[in-house]
Amino acid sequence: MATSINVRLSDELEEKLKSTVEEVKKKTPLGAEVNNSTIVRGALEDFIKKIENEEKGIKTVSYNFSELENEEKELEVLRDLLKDMSNALGDVKNSDKGTAKYLLSMVLSQIQLHYLQEKTKFL
């Protein structure tokens, strides 16, 4: 059963919603309906999923590499660090516990990216 919800938006948020609707319309195949309700419904679904993931202890880490002061040098350091982490865990493909090692390496990579993100906030 569907429920109708009335939402009050600030002028600024209303403008963002309008521009988002227009952008999505440009990228959406012909025949697909895109309107305010579609965008708000999608945002609500994303918000609920984010809350559910946080309750499960799942966190998504993102990193804006354009914030790095010397991007080329920092990326090289990051590549070396991730390579060292991978080497420390051993060869994932040749291990009978490869899946666990792979997942651990992914978690460690995300932790390192989170650390770098926090570190660059204050530069």
Q: What is the pLDDT of residue 15?
A: 95
What letters, b where the CB count within 10 A reaches 16 and e where it falls short, cover 55-80? Answer: eeeeeeeebeeeebeeeeeeeeebee
Q: What is the pLDDT of residue 93?
A: 52
Model confidence, pTM: 0.50
In contact, 68 and 74? CB cutoff 8 Å: yes
What does the DSSP 8-state code read for residue 57?
T
Q: What is the pLDDT of residue 2?
A: 80
In contact, 35 and 89? CB cutoff 8 Å: no
Q: What is the pLDDT of residue 95?
A: 55
Residues of the chain with pLDDT under 50: none
pLDDT in tens, 39-60: 999 999 999 999 998 898 777 7
